[in-house]
Amino acid sequence: MTVTLDDIRAAAERLEGNALRTPLLESPLLNAQLGCRLLVKAECLQLTGSFKYRGAFNRISQLDPETWAKGVVAYSTGNHAQGVAAAAKHAGTEAVIVLPEDAPEVKKRNTRAWGAELVFYNRDTDDRAAIAEEVARKRGGAALVPPYDHEHVIAGQGTIGLEILEQTEAMGTRPDAVVIPVGGGGLTAGISTAVRALCPETRFFMAEPAAYDDTARSLAAGKRLGVDLSPGHPTTFCDALTAPMPGEITFSINRTTVNGVLVQSDDDVCRGIYTAFNDLKIVLEPSGAIGLAAVVSGALEKSCGAIKGRTIVVIASGGNVDAATFCDALKKGAPR
């Protein structure tokens, strides 16, 4: 199973008029500070506040009429939940979302607002995929919409890569490197497939929270490794990046396209949130800010060498954050 440039182009046609073409944001002052041209793809401004709508819509729009009539089921930490709920509403079918009990309230509230039914699970003890499969079975074979490990979902996320190349060309440049937040790996798999096919010299880096460094360890080992979820394991406020293991399909793609993984602490991420707010005037959730954090913390330059004079694209993947969390992160991330 794989995803091709043609799959991504077909997804872009389906999404035309149904998803937003998000901007590439730039701050001259931030560029001067970093010594590179930093372009931030603001998927926090996408429908439902994250990139997840793209993959969900591409998956649901390809269901056959019989399956469509039974509705869709998804499991998610919150952003995919909203993407599936919105895509199902636009398609005129029902959605049930299996969501962690401790998901941010803004994600619970918005998922309900899109008309989805919520089923809650314990992030540390329950098997969310098994719960979703049981819900789908009880509903007579409703379609599962996985958060990352599905060709249609990956192709939908890959449309971001096509937009990046079109936008950078219009700005008179090409991306030397792209930094992408990683949980299960679907966003990276889609973007790297699209961009590498058309701009093979571009390098790709994933940004991952230190408490969930399964992708970094998996790439180093050459096989998929999971996170130890036993009681007392480290946590992160990057709630959207807590997939316990890279996806099977996504890992098979990313191990061939990605140049490195940039592991970030929650304190680093707070600095990314502050930078997005102060320099780019956008609100990012922790998971959405981790790519920017990897650049401003110096992790990208340490990993790939000098970035001076280069064009770096960062994916700001989402902006669904509770107000209290956001304000606290701003205070922690502000310069001392």
We report the CATH number of the domain holding residue 58 as: 3.40.50.1100
In the prediction, which pLDDT does 77 show? 81
Are residues 33 and 170 part of one domain?
A: yes
Cβ atoms of residues 56 and 330 within 8 Å: no
Are residues 161 and 101 part of one domain?
A: no
Q: Which residues contact 83 (CB under 8 A, 6 or more apart)?
A: 47, 48, 50, 51, 52, 53, 54, 55, 56, 57
Rounded distance, CA 71 to CA 85, Å? 11
Owning domain of residue 17: 5-51+151-333
Last residue of a domain, which of 117, 144, 171? 144
Q: Which amino acid is at 270?
A: C
Tokens standing for 66? 């019989």
Rounded distance, CA 37 to CA 313, Å? 8
Are residues 241 and 168 part of one domain?
A: yes
Residue ranges of alpha helices (H) inside the chain are 5-15, 28-34, 52-60, 65-70, 79-91, 105-113, 128-138, 151-170, 186-198, 214-221, 248-257, 266-275, 286-296, 299-304, 323-333
From first to last of its 336 residues, the chain has per-residue pLDDT tens of: 689 999 999 999 999 999 999 999 999 999 999 999 999 999 999 999 999 999 999 999 999 999 999 999 999 888 999 999 999 999 999 999 999 999 889 999 999 999 999 999 998 788 999 999 999 999 999 999 999 999 999 999 999 999 999 999 999 999 999 999 999 999 999 999 999 999 999 999 999 999 999 999 999 999 999 998 888 888 999 999 999 999 999 999 999 999 999 999 999 999 999 999 999 999 999 999 999 999 999 999 999 888 999 999 999 999 999 999 999 999 999 998
Q: What is the DSSP string of 104-145?
A: -HHHHHHHHHTT-EEEEE-TTT--HHHHHHHHHHHTTSPEE-
Q: Which residues pair with 314 in a beta bridge?
A: 40, 179
Rounded distance, CA 58 to CA 55, Å? 5
Rounded distance, CA 244 to CA 228, Å? 8
Query: Tens digit of pLDDT for each residue in 188-240?
Result: 999 999 999 999 999 999 999 999 999 999 999 999 999 988 888 889 999 99
Tokens standing for 291? 């790519």
Are residues 309 and 189 part of one domain?
A: yes
219 HSE (CA, 13 A, CB side): 22
Are residues 162 and 63 part of one domain?
A: no
Last residue of a domain, which of 101, 118, 144? 144
Are residues 306 and 194 part of one domain?
A: yes
- How many domains does one find in the chain? 2
Are residues 291 and 157 part of one domain?
A: yes
In the prediction, which pLDDT does 1 show? 67
Last residue of a domain, which of 144, 177, 204? 144
Are residues 215 and 164 part of one domain?
A: yes
∠ CA 77-78-80, rounded to 5°: 95
Three-state secondary structure readout of 234-266: CCCCCHHHCCCCCCHHHHHHHHHHCCEEEEECH
Cβ atoms of residues 18 and 58 within 8 Å: no
Q: Which residues pair with 143 in a beta bridge?
A: 72
Are residues 223 and 91 part of one domain?
A: no
Are residues 173 and 124 part of one domain?
A: no
Are residues 60 and 38 part of one domain?
A: no
Rounded distance, CA 332 to CA 54, Å? 32
Are residues 289 and 207 part of one domain?
A: yes
